[in-house]
């Protein structure tokens, strides 16, 4: 009886112990779920396809960015799907071409006899254009073709020149570019035309469209006018500002000024994202600073124009912005005329005032000031923490400059859109043996050649995108490949180029240097268009991209 009485408390204690453990586990699971729910940040849809860049940027909170600035990603590179095109903007396909060819043949059977091969080719014959279209679709599989012009007579009786608009299939924007080539044709026994030979990029000079730069007028000989169909990023074309009727978000310069391009973009898009969240127009300073690592002098260079690097026209269409100079003039003018009704301004001196706290503010201008020491004065700090749930960076608004993209298309076209590429990162990383002990040796000419030969067939056109300053550094690869470097195309930004004249429009006639930012942008986009790509940190070296133990 005593044993039974003694066993009863033991069983009760065991039951209590089990119930306590179960309750503790339940409480712990509820606590974990609550923490996850509070701290979860939904992904930015524009960055969903580029988790690597998001992770790279996120690592640098509360510190200066040090990511790889030898590749510059913008909206064209980050979106997963090309923007929708109108039905009239569909690229040519073999299916649509066959329908066109069928209609053309029926038309010819009614109106013309078979052309004699001994006579000059009638370039205006619709079958000539269909034959060239079919040839291009077969040869240039990485290109979407649009808007062929009627072919015109070339320099010889069997030659026709023709122009068209196109877009690389790897480009996500809806911008188009022009090419015009010379084709040599013959008439087969079945009366069909055949392309015997196709000229190189821009060889069809008789079909060349009018220049995008109009000749200066006699009244204003120093003024160039850009064809508005191509791009129009003039500040004066922004709508007239009625400052009192709008709501504005104004950021003063902070520690992001003169930092690397990736740092600048991460901060700038945070500011644009907050403006969108607050339903305000963002006041945009077009004056930028070129970071020292992009300059031979190794010094920061101020006074660079945003439009040198990015498509201001597209951004103006995509988000609500106003140029800072115009905004400040209107602000001062209003306050001078309406001394008793000055513009209401809310000054915010710390990033710790969150966008959510400003959502209901009715001031005409919210002015964020960043006067504290680094890293407290970085713009992107506004988008950290809880704000990351609400602020979405509008990557779709940021495209590379059309002027630079024209150079990209020109380089790719000169290589007939049939090339491979290797991305060679050297510079400061190659000199830092503590973080990248093998990079210097792994990117030596001999090592690069050995690795590239395992991945790319010899005799191919090989474009090398690199921050290596010495042009002859890659000469060893020339024994096996047709090597192309950015400096092989200096005429595209020389003093006789379209780019040179177009950029002078932005500076009042002052020449613009083709600087390090521009080189990175062009290198990045040519690299993207390669058929096969060899990367430094995935293929050439065993080192990690961000240093030891970061792979």
Q: Would you state the pLDDT for residue 82?
A: 45
The strand pair at 225-226 and 213-214 is best described as antiparallel
Give the rounded percent of residues in the chain with a pLDDT score beyond 90: 58
pLDDT tens for 179-208 read 999 999 988 877 789 999 999 999 999 999
Cβ atoms 195, 183 nearer than 8 A: yes
For the chain, what is the total number of helices (H) and then of strands (E)? Answer: 16, 18
pLDDT(268) > 80 = yes
Q: Would you state the pLDDT for residue 102?
A: 63
pLDDT(238) > 70 = no
CA torsion, points 461, 467, 468, 472, in degrees to nearest 10?
40
pLDDT tens for 361-395 read 999 999 999 999 999 999 999 999 999 999 999 99
| Radius of gyration from C-alpha coordinates of the chain | 30
pLDDT tens for 66-80 read 455 666 677 666 654
pLDDT tens for 386-425 read 999 999 999 999 999 999 999 999 999 999 999 999 999 9
Query: Exposure pattern of 290-304 as b/e (b: 16+ CB <10 Å)?
Result: bbeebeeeeeebeeb
Give CA–CA dist 204/129, Å, rounded.
14
What confidence tier does 339 reach under pLDDT thresholds 50, 70, 90?
confident
What confidence tier does 218 reach under pLDDT thresholds 50, 70, 90?
very low
Q: Would you state the pLDDT for residue 108?
A: 47
Which run of H or of E encompasses 515? none
In the chain, the N- to C-terminal Cα span, in Å, equals 69
pLDDT tens for 447-482 read 999 999 999 999 999 999 999 999 999 999 999 999
Q: Would you state the pLDDT for residue 461?
A: 97
Q: Would you state the pLDDT for residue 325?
A: 92
Q: Would you state the pLDDT for residue 43?
A: 37
pLDDT(225) > 50 = no
Tell me phi and psi for residue 472, to 5 degrees. -80, 5
- Of the listed ranges 32-41, 210-219, 331-340, the least confidently predicted one is 32-41
Q: Would you state the pLDDT for residue 335?
A: 87
pLDDT(142) > 70 = yes
User: Across residues 526-546, what is the average pLDDT?
Assistant: 93
User: Across residues 469-496, what is the average pLDDT?
Assistant: 96
The strand pair at 193-198 and 248-251 is best described as unpaired
Q: How far is CA 162 from the centre of its chain?
A: 30
Q: Would you state the pLDDT for residue 120?
A: 86
Tell me phi and psi for residue 60, to 5 degrees. -105, 20
pLDDT tens for 106-118 read 544 434 456 555 5
Identify the structural domains of the chain with CATH numbers, from first to last: 57-65+240-396 (no CATH), 89-209 (no CATH), 402-540 (3.40.50)
What confidence tier does 261 reach under pLDDT thresholds 50, 70, 90?
confident
Query: What is the pLDDT of the chain when averaged over all its residues?
Result: 82
Is residue 418 classed exposed, middle or buried when 0-12, 13-18 and 19+ CB atoms within 10 A define those classes?
middle
Q: Would you state the pLDDT for residue 139?
A: 93
pLDDT tens for 17-67 read 677 767 677 667 666 655 444 333 333 333 333 344 445 555 544 434 445
What confidence tier does 545 reach under pLDDT thresholds 50, 70, 90?
confident
Give the list of residues 6+ apart from residue 539 with CB closer than 8 angstroms, or none: 451, 455
pLDDT tens for 168-180 read 988 878 888 999 9
pLDDT(2) > 70 = no
E strand map for 96-221: 143-146, 152-153, 159-168, 177-187, 193-198, 213-214
The strand pair at 301-305 and 287-290 is best described as antiparallel
Q: Would you state the pLDDT for residue 276?
A: 97
How is residue 293 written in tokens? 């690592």
What confidence tier does 269 reach under pLDDT thresholds 50, 70, 90?
very high
What string of DSSP letters covers 358-414?
A: HTT---SEEEE---SPTTTT-GGGGGSGGGGGT----GGG--B-HHHHHHHHHHHHH
User: Across residues 314-333, what is the average pLDDT?
Assistant: 92
Cβ atoms 132, 195 nearer than 8 A: yes
Q: Would you state the pLDDT for residue 210?
A: 76
Helix/strand/coil for 262: helix
Q: Pick from 551, 549, 543: which is nearest to 443 by CA?
A: 543
pLDDT(13) > 80 = no
């Amino acid at each position: 009886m005593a044993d039974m009485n003694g066993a009863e408390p033991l069983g009760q204690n065991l039951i209590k112990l089990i119930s306590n453990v179960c309750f503790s586990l339940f409480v712990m699971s509820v606590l974990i779920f609550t923490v996850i729910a509070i701290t979860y940040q939904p992904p930015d849809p524009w960055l969903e396809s580029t988790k690597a860049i998001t992770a790279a940027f996120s690592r640098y909170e509360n510190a200066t960015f040090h990511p790889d600035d030898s590749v510059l990603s913008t909206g064209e590179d980050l979106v997963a799907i090309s923007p929708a095109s109108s039905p009239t903007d569909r690229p040519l396909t073999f299916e649509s071409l066959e329908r066109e060819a069928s209609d053309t043949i029926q038309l010819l059977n009614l109106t013309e006899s078979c052309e004699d091969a001994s006579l000059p080719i009638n370039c205006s014959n619709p079958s000539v254009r269909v034959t060239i279209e079919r040839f291009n679709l077969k040869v240039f599989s990485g290109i979407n073709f649009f808007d062929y012009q009627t072919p015109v007579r070339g320099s010889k009786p069997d030659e026709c020149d023709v122009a068209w608009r196109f877009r690389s299939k790897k480009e996500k924007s809806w911008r188009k570019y022009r090419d015009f080539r010379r084709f040599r044709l013959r008439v087969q026994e079945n009366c069909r035309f055949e392309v015997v030979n196709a000229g190189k990029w821009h060889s069809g000079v008789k079909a060349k469209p009018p220049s995008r730069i109009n000749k200066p007028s006699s009244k204003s000989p120093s003024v160039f006018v850009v064809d508005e169909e191509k791009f129009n990023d003039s500040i004066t074309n922004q709508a007239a500002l009625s400052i009192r009727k709008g709501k504005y978000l104004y950021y003063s310069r902070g520690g992001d000024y003169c930092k690397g391009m990736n740092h600048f973009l991460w901060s700038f898009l945070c500011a644009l994202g907050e403006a969108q969240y607050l339903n305000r127009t963002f006041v945009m300073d077009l004056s930028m600073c070129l970071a020292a690592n992009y300059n031979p002098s190794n010094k920061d260079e101020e006074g660079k124009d945003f439009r040198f690097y990015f498509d201001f026209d597209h951004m103006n269409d995509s988000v609500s912005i106003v140029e800072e100079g115009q905004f400040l003039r209107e602000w001062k003018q209003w306050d001078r005329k309406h001394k008793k009704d000055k513009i209401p301004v809310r000054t915010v001196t710390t990033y710790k005032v969150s966008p959510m706290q400003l959502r209901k503010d009715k001031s005409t201008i919210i002015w964020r000031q960043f006067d504290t020491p680094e890293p407290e004065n970085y713009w992107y700090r506004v988008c950290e923490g809880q704000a990351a749930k609400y602020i979405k960076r509008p990557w779709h608004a940021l495209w590379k400059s059309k002027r630079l993209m024209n150079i990209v298309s020109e380089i790719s076209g000169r290589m007939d859109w049939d090339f491979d590429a290797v991305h060679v990162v050297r510079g400061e990383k190659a000199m830092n043996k503590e973080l990248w002990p093998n990079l210097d040796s792994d990117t030596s000419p001999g090592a690069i050649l050995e690795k590239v030969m395992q991945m790319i067939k010899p005799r191919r056109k090989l474009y090398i995108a690199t921050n290596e300053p010495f042009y002859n550094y890659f000469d060893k690869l020339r024994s096996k490949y047709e090597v192309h470097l950015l400096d092989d195309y200096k005429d595209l930004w020389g003093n006789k180029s379209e780019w040179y004249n177009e950029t002078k429009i932005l500076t009042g006639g002052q020449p613009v240097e083709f600087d390090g930012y521009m080189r990175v942008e062009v290198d990045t986009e040519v690299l993207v268009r390669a058929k096969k790509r060899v990367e430094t940190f995935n293929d050439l070296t065993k080192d990690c991209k961000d240093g030891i133990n970061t792979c």
